[in-house]
Amino acid sequence: MSSLIDFRTCPTTGLKVDRAAEKLIKANAVAAVVFLAIGGLFGLLVALTRWPAVHFLPADMFYLALTAHGLDVLLVWIIFFEMAVLYFASAILLNSRLAGPKWAWTGFGLMLSGALITNVAVLQGQSSVMFTSYVPMMAEPPFYLGIILFAVGALIGCGVFFGTLVVAKREKTYEGSVPLVTFGALTAAIIAVFTIASGAIILIPTLLWSLGLVSHIDPIIYKTIWWAMGHSSQQINVSAHVAVWYAIAAMVFGAKPLSEKVSRTAFLMYILFLQLASAHHMLVEPGFSSEWKIFNTSYAMYLAVLGSMVHGMTVPGSIEAAQRARGLTKGMFEWLRKAPWGNPAFAGMFMSLVFFGFIGGISGVVMGTEQINLIMHNTLYVPGHFHGTVVAGTTLAFMAITYILVPLIFRRELVLRKLATWQPYVFGIGVAGISVFMMGAGTLGVARRHWDMTFADAILPFDYPSAAFLMMGLNGIFAVMAALGGLMYVVIVVGSVFFGRKLAEDEKPSYPEVPPDSAAVGHYGSSESLKIPGTAFLVGIFFVAFVLYYFVNWKYLSEIWPLS
Amino acid sequence: MNEKDSPDQNESSDSGHQDQIPLMQQLLDNPFLLLVLGIAVPAVFYIIWGIIEITQIPIAD
Amino acid sequence: MAITPPSERIWWRQPIARIELIWIIIAFTWGLIMFFMMIYWHGAGEQNLSNEAYQIKPQVFAKHAQDMIDEYQVREESGFPVVHPPPGSDVYLIARLWQWWPILELEKDQSYRLHLSSMDWQHGFSLQPVNINVQVHPGYEMVITVRPDRAGEFGVVCNEFCGIGHHMMVGKIYVVE
C-alpha cells in the first residue's frame, strides 16, 4: 500500500512528506486566506460604521456585514486553517501517509460549498441574523444549510486526522508517543468533534424550522446547544494556536518542552473541561441554577484556565531554556532581547502569546464570572474579549506559522520580506487596540451589534458618556491599522505562493532564518538545574495583573443596583 | 501473510511495554479514549444537565 | 522538540522542575479562589441574579403588564405610559419590536419584583448607565428583585440584535426620591 504513496523528503526537517497531504494542506490554507480577506474586509466595514465620526454603512448593510464578518472569520477562515494544521500535525509530523485523501477532498469540497452557500445567502440580504442566528429570528434555509455542509465537511476532516493517527501507529512511522504539537492538534480535533456534533444537533432542526417543517424551536435550548458549537469552536482555536506556539518555538529555537508530562496534562485539562465554558453565554438567561452556572462557567473549578496558565509558562520557558543553552545567559532578559524579533514567525507567535494571556485570557475569565457577567453581557466588552483571544491570539499565531509553512509546504521563497518583518507588529498592535478599546466601551455600557450608539432615531433619548465615543473612535483607528496588517499578510502570502522563487527539490529556504545551532539544543539540563528567571518574572507580572483586574471588576459590580 | 503477522507482533511487544508505561501515559497516548472523554464530559455537564434545567422551568399561572 | 516524539519512552516519570511546580500550585490555588469567590458572593454580595423563571405565553405576560399599567399609570410621555407601582410590588416590562413598554417610575431604596419577557424575538435588557445586562426571551419570564439605590433617569437599551429597528429600541426607568 505505502509503495503507492508519493513521498518527498523535506530538505529542512528531513521529514517524509506525503504529497497528497501536502496538496490538501495547500488547498485548505489557500481557502482559509481567501475567507480571511473577505471576512476581514467586512470587519473593517463594521468598525468604520461603529466609528461615530465615520458611521459608514446604513443600518441594513451594517447588520449584513456584521453577519458575514462573524461567519467568515470566526468560522470559515479558522476552521479551514485548522484543517491544514490537522493534516500537517498528523501526516507530516508523524512521517506518515494521510489516511483517505479522497475523504479529505470530499470534506474540503463540502466545506467550500457550504461556506459559499452561506455567504451568498447572507449577501442576498434576507439572512442578516448575526453569526448566532438566535431563534425565533429566522434566516433563509440556505443560511443554515451552508453551515451544516461546512460542519459535515470539517467533521470528515477530523475523521481523516484520527485515521492518520491510526495509520501512522500501525505502520510504525514514529517511535513512542506522538509529538506534543500533534497532541495539541489532537486536542483541537477532539473539541472539534464535540463542536460540530453540537452544531448539527441544533442547526438541522433549525433548518427544518426555516423550511416550515418544524413548528417551534425553544429559544433557550437553541442557545444552549448553539453555544456548545459557537464557544467550543473558539476552544478548537485555543488548542490549535497553543499547538502552533509550541511548533514555532520548536522550529525557530529548537526548543524542547520543559516537561512532556506537564504540557500534555495541560492539554488534557482542555479536552475535559474547556468546552464547559460555553456557559459563559448563558449566565444571565432565565432558568439555569447557580450550581450549573458556577460549575460550567468555571470550567470545573478553573481547571482549563490552569491548563492555559501552564502553557503560558511552558512555551516562553522552553524558549528561554533553549536560548540560555545557546549562551544568551546575561541577566534576566538577554534571551528575550536577543530573540529574532525581525523573524515574523517568532514576533507573531510571541505577541500572540502575550496578547492572548493579558487581553483575551484575563478578560475571558473575568467576564465568565457568574455575577460579573451582569455588567458585561452583550456589551462591546464581549467582542473586545474575543478579538483578544481569536484575533490577537489565534489569527496572529496562524499568520506567524504561515511564514514557516509557505517555504516548507508551498516550496516557494517568501517575497516582500521587509513587509513581512513589519506585518505581525502592525496587525498585532492594531488588534490589541481593537480589543482594549472595545472592552473600554463595553465597560461604559455600549451595546454590541448595534448600529447607532447615538440613538438618533429612538423615540426616547439616551446618551452614552462621551468617553464611550472616544473609545469607539480609537477602536476605528486601530481597526484600520489591523486591516492594513491583514492586507499585508494576504499580499505577502498570495505574492509568495504565486510569484515567490520556486525552491529546488533539495533546497532549503533562506527565510525566515533559523539559528544555525537550533538542533543542538534538543537537550538541555535536567529538571533540577532548569533556570528560567525571565519567564518566572513575566508570569509573575501576568499573575499580578490578573488578580488586580479580577478584583477591580468585583468592585465595579458592587456599585450597581442591589439585585437578588 | 505479512499483514497478518505484524499486528500479532505489535500486540505482544506492546503488552510487554504496557506493564511499565504508567496508566496516565497510556491514557494520553490513546486518542480514542480521549475523544470519548472529551465528548462525554461537556455533553453531560453542560448540555444534558443544562437542558434538564430548562425543561424544568415551571409554567407561570 | 515539540514537533518530534518525546525523547524518553516513558516521559510520564520525568521529574518536573521546581519552578514549573510552583507555578502550577499558584495557578491551581488561584482557580480555587476564583471558584469560591462566586459562591461567597451569593452569601455576602448584594448583586446576584435571581434564577426565578417561568414559562409564559406572550399574551399572558402582556395582560399582566396591561393590568399594572391600568392600575398605576401616572402620566404619558412620548406616547409611552409612565407607571408608578407601589414599592414591593410586581413590575412588568415588555420587550417587543422595538420598544420597552411601559416607562417605569420606581422609588429609591425600595425593592420591586421586576418581570421581564419578550413578545417576539430575543432582546437584551441593558440598564444604563448602571450597566446591568440581562437576556430577555420570548416564552419565558425572568423575575429579578431590584432595589435602585440612586435617583435619576435611566435608559434601557436593547443589546441583543433584534432586526433593523434594533437601534431605536430605547426605554426609560425613572427613580425618584
Interface contact B34, partner A, CB < 8 A: yes
**Mean pLDDT by 10-residue block, N- to C-terminus, for chain A (564 residues)?**
73 88 96 96 97 96 97 94 96 95 97 98 95 95 97 96 97 94 97 94 96 96 96 94 96 91 97 96 95 96 96 96 91 95 96 97 96 97 97 97 93 94 98 98 96 95 96 97 97 95 87 59 58 95 97 96 94
CB within 8 A of C25, min separation 6: which ones?
Answer: none
Residue A135's pLDDT is what?
Answer: 93
CATH number for the domain that contains residue A295: 1.20.210.10
Q: Please tell us whether the domain made up of C53-176 is placed in CATH 2.60.40.420.
A: yes
Any chains having at least 3 CB pairs less than 8 A from chain B are A, C
HSE-CB of B20 using CA atoms within 13 angstroms? 8
Q: Which of the residues B46, B48, B52 would you substitute to probe the A interface, choosing the one with the greatest number of A C-beta atoms within 10 Å?
A: B46
Residue B9's pLDDT is what?
Answer: 42
Interface contact C25, partner A, CB < 8 A: no
- Which chain B residue is nearest to residue C61, measuring alpha carbons? B60
- What range does the domain containing A545 cover? 2-503+518-558
Q: What is the DSSP letter of A97?
A: P
Residue A127 and residue A155 in contact, taking contact as beta carbons nearer than 8 Å: no
**H helices of A11-56, where?**
19-50
State yes or no: pLDDT of B61 exceeds 90. Answer: no
- The reply to whether residue C6 touches residue A539, judged by beta carbons under 8 angstroms, is no
Q: Give the separation between CA B42 and CA A190, rounded to whole angstroms.
A: 12
Among A407, A419, A427, which residue's Cα sits nearest to residue A26?
A407
Residue A122 and residue A67 in contact, taking contact as beta carbons nearer than 8 Å: yes
Helix axes A19-50, A101-123, angle to 10 degrees: 20
Q: Grid coordinates in use for A379?
A: 456589551
State yes or no: pLDDT of B13 exceeds 70. Answer: no
Interface contact B25, partner A, CB < 8 A: yes
Interface contact B11, partner A, CB < 8 A: no
Mean pLDDT of B26-52: 97
Residues of B in contact with C10 (CB under 8 A): 20-22, 25
Helix (H, G, I), strand (E, B) or coil at A284: coil
Any chains having at least 3 CB pairs less than 8 A from chain C are A, B
Residue A6's pLDDT is what?
Answer: 86
Residue A374 and residue A430 in contact, taking contact as beta carbons nearer than 8 Å: no
Residue A252 and residue A335 in contact, taking contact as beta carbons nearer than 8 Å: no
Interface contact C8, partner B, CB < 8 A: no
Report the residue from C9, C11, C54 with minimal CB separation from B60: C54
Q: Is the dihedral of CA A523, A526, A532, A533 positive or negative?
A: negative
Q: Which of the residues C25, C135, C141, C173 would you substitute to probe the A interface, choosing the one with the greatest number of A C-beta atoms within 10 Å?
A: C135
Report the residue from A194, A218, A289 with minimal CB separation from B42: A194
Residues of B in contact with C56 (CB under 8 A): 59-60
**Mean pLDDT by 10-residue block, N- to C-terminus, for chain C (177 residues)?**
89 92 97 97 95 96 97 96 97 96 97 97 96 97 96 97 96 96
Q: Amino acid letter at A74?
A: L
Interface contact C18, partner B, CB < 8 A: no
Angstroms from A420 CA to nearest CA on chain C: 24
Among A84, A215, A193, which residue's Cα sits nearest to residue A138?
A215
Residues of C in contact with A295 (CB under 8 A): none
- Which chain B residue is nearest to residue A289, measuring alpha carbons? B53
The answer to whether position A510 is within a domain reads no
DSSP C49-117: ----EEE--HHHHHHHHHHHHHHHEEEEETTEEEE-PPTTSEEEEEEETTEEESEEEEETT--EEEEEE
What is the reported pTM? 0.94
Q: Amino acid letter at C140?
A: Y
Element (H, E) at A98: none
Residue B11's pLDDT is what?
Answer: 43
Mean pLDDT of B47-59: 96
Residue A23's pLDDT is what?
Answer: 95
Helix axes A141-170, A180-210, angle to 10 degrees: 150
- A543 burial level (CB within 10 Å; 0-12, 13-18, 19+): middle
The answer to whether position A512 is within a domain reads no
Residue A4's pLDDT is what?
Answer: 67
Cell 494571556 appears where?
Answer: A357
Q: Which of the residues A169, A401, A459 would you substitute to probe the C interface, choosing the one with the greatest number of C C-beta atoms within 10 Å?
A: A459
- Which chain B residue is nearest to residue C12, measuring alpha carbons? B25
Could you report the predicted ipTM of this complex, rounded to two decimals? Answer: 0.96
The answer to whether position A482 is within a domain reads yes
- How is the beta sheet containing C53-55 ordered, strand by strand? C53-55, C140-146, C112-118, C90-96, C99-101
Instruction: Please name the residues between 2 and 61 in chain B that touch chain C, using a CB distance below 8 Å.
Output: 17, 20-22, 24-25, 28, 57-60
Report the residue from C12, C53, C55 with minimal CB separation from B22: C12
In chain C, where the domains are located: 11-44, 53-176
- A3 burial level (CB within 10 Å; 0-12, 13-18, 19+): exposed
Among C160, C161, C158, C143, which residue's Cα sits nearest to residue C55?
C143
Residue B36's pLDDT is what?
Answer: 98
Q: Is the dihedral of CA A161, A348, A28, A252 positive or negative?
A: negative
- The reply to whether residue B46 touches residue A300, judged by beta carbons under 8 angstroms, is no
Among A543, A525, A531, A84, which residue's Cα sits nearest to residue A308?
A543
Residue A169's pLDDT is what?
Answer: 96
Angstroms from A361 CA to nearest CA on chain B: 21
Interface contact B33, partner A, CB < 8 A: no
Task: Give the total number of structural domains in chain A.
Answer: 1
Q: Are strands C90-96 and C112-118 parallel, antiparallel or unpaired?
A: parallel
Report the residue from C9, C10, C55 with minimal CB separation from B59: C55
Q: Grid coordinates in use for A85?
A: 494544521
Q: Is the dihedral of CA C158, C161, C167, C168 positive or negative?
A: negative
Residue A274 and residue A235 in contact, taking contact as beta carbons nearer than 8 Å: yes
